[in-house]
Structure 1
C-alpha cells in the first residue's frame, strides 16, 4: 500500500499539478545516481537528480496480484553519468531502482513511491539504450530449490563447491594482442587433464546412410578416446576395425562413430568417451590494470600461452595489462574428480537415466 502526505495528496487532487518523477539507481559497485524527467536538475533528500531530457519511460502498471511489473525506460547517451562503456561492462545489470513522484515546486510535500525493483536486460542501439525494470514480484518467477541435473549445479569455488579457487588462480601480463577477444601470455603454460563423460542423454543411430554419430565434447573440448557404447539394456557393443555388424561400431579420428546400416538404424545408444579441454577454459579473469581495470571476463578457450575470452571488453586489451586468471570448470564429474579432486562435493546426478529411458515402455 502506498502512503503519501496529505499535502501531496491534495496537490494531486487539484486541477493544476507540478509533478515529476525521480529515479534513484544504485549500481552493483555501490555508486548511487539520480535522474529526473524534469527540465532541470533537482536536489531531494541529499541527492542531486540530473535532468536528462533524452529519456522517456512507459506507463507504470501494477496490481494486487503477483504478476511482474511492466515498465521500460529508453534514453540516449546525453549524460556523462551514463556511458556506453559502463553499460557494456555490466555495471548497471541488476542495479536497484526506486521511482518516486514529487511536486518539484514544493519538495516539502515529500514523495510518493511509484515502483521499485532491479534493472533487467539493457539493450544498446544507435546511440540510445533501453532498460527494463523488473519489479519485486520478479523474484517469485524464479525456481526455488534444486532440480536433478547430470552436470554440477554449484558455481566453481562457491560454498557448495567448497573448492579453494585461490589455489588455481594465477597472475598474468598481456604480452601481445591477437584481436579484441584473444591475447598472448607466454607465462601461462598449464595444460588440462583428460576428462571422462558418462552419456546420460543418448543418441539415435540415423536411419539413413552414412549411419554415423559425431561426438561433440562439451565446452569446446577435443575428443580424446572412446570409453564404450552401450544400449538401453546396459549391454556394451563391440568396436571393430572394418565394416560394423549387428551391435558393432567403427570409430574414426575425432570421435566419428559408424554403425551397421543393415542391423541397427534407429537404435538408441549411449556413448561414453574422454576429452581434453584447455586448463583455463570457462574460467574467470579479473583485470587489474589498464583501461579495463576492475572488470571481469569469462574465458571461452585456452591453449598454452593463448587466452580467448567470451565477449569483447568495452575497452581494447593492451600489451602490459595485468590480470588474475582462475582455472575453469565445465561442471562434468570427470573434471571435478581429475582436475580438482573434489568429486565428494559434486552437485549433480550423472547416473540417473535420461528422460527417454524413464518414459520408455518396459517389458
Structure 2
C-alpha cells in the first residue's frame, strides 16, 4: 500500500466494536472523525493498544486497549452493566487523509474490563484463545447441560413467558404473573425488554408464586419494565425425570462413587 511507503505517513488506528445486541460503534485514534464504509469512527485520541503480535502459532493471541471513557460512546455504567461483554472488536490501520484502504491488525472479543479514574483497560482475546478451554468434561452428580440446549434437548415451547415487573426490592422482583410450578424459574434467566436494563439479562436464583429472586440486584431500576422469564432446572436427575421427562439426556453421573469411597469401611 502506497500510503505505508511514504516518508511522512498519515496512518491512524481504528476500532470497529460490535455488541451482541447489534449496536455497532467506531472509534479512531485520530483527532477528527472518519467515515469508512458508511460507519462514522469517532475521534478518541486517548485510545491506544498494547503491542500487537500476530503469528501462525497456536498460542492464544491477546492484547490490551487503554483509553479514556467517553460518555457518548462507551460509558462506565454500560461497561459495569455488562453491555459490552463478549463484543467483537476489529482493530485496523488506515490512511486518515483518504480513509478506505486498511491493514488488519487483529480481531477478537472483549474479555476482562477494568475501569479506574475515568479510564478503561479492555482485554481483547483472539480466536486462538479458544484453545485454552478444557477439552474433556469433569464428572459431576448434577447435569452439566443447560435446559433446552443441544445436549439437553428438552423442548422449551411454553417455558418462556413475558410478564411486567411491578416492584423491585434489592434482588427481589414482584411480577404480574404466577409461576406454573414451584420454583419454575430457579436456575433460569430473566431478559429485560424495558427500562434502563433493556438488552441485559440476569440469572434467577429462585422463584415462588409471583416473586422472582435474582442472583444479584438489577443494574438499574426496573419497576414497570417488560421482562421475559425463562424456566430453569436445578440439575438433579429427579427433576429431569419427573418434571421434564428427559432422563435419557441427563448429562451427569449421580451414582458414580466419589473419593469418599476410599474412606469407607465395613459396617459404615
TM-score of Structure 1 vs Structure 2, range by shorter chain:
0.7 to 0.9
Q: Which residue of 1 aligns with 2:214?
A: 309
Per-residue CA deviations over 1:194-223 (Å, capped at 9, x if unaligned) read xxxxxxxxxxxxxxxxxxxxxxxxxxxxxx
Matched pairs, number: 265
| TM-score, normalisation: structure 2 | 0.86
Q: Which residue of 2 aligns with 1:337?
A: 241
Greater Cα radius of gyration, structure 1 or 2: 1
The structural deviation recorded for 1:186 is 6.2
* Separation in 2, partners of 1:167, 1:76: 45
2:195 equivalent among 285, 290, 293: 290
* Structure 1 residues 30 and 294: alpha-carbon distance in aligned structure 2, compared to 1, 3 A threshold: closer
* Separation in 2, partners of 1:186, 1:118: 37
* Separation in 2, partners of 1:153, 1:64: 34
Structure 2, unpaired ranges of 5+: none
Q: Which residue of 2 aligns with 1:175?
A: 166
* Structure 1 residues 176 and 96: alpha-carbon distance in aligned structure 2, compared to 1, 3 A threshold: closer
**Residue 184, structure 1, aligned to residue 174, structure 2:** yes
| TM-score, normalisation: structure 1 | 0.65
- Alpha-carbon RMSD: 2.7
Higher relative contact order (CA 8 A, sep 6+): 1
* Structure 1 residues 171 and 42: alpha-carbon distance in aligned structure 2, compared to 1, 3 A threshold: closer
Per-residue CA deviations over 1:2-48 (Å, capped at 9, x if unaligned) read xxx2x14423xx3x332211111122122322111111111223322
* Structure 1 residues 34 and 187: alpha-carbon distance in aligned structure 2, compared to 1, 3 A threshold: closer
Q: Which residue of 2 aligns with 1:241?
A: none
* Separation in 2, partners of 1:143, 1:285: 28
* Separation in 1, partners of 2:99, 2:160: 52
1:134-283 map, 5 Å: 134-144=125-135, 146-179=137-170, 181-185=171-175, 187-188=177-178, 190-192=180-182, 278-283=183-188
* Structure 1 residues 327 and 70: alpha-carbon distance in aligned structure 2, compared to 1, 3 A threshold: closer
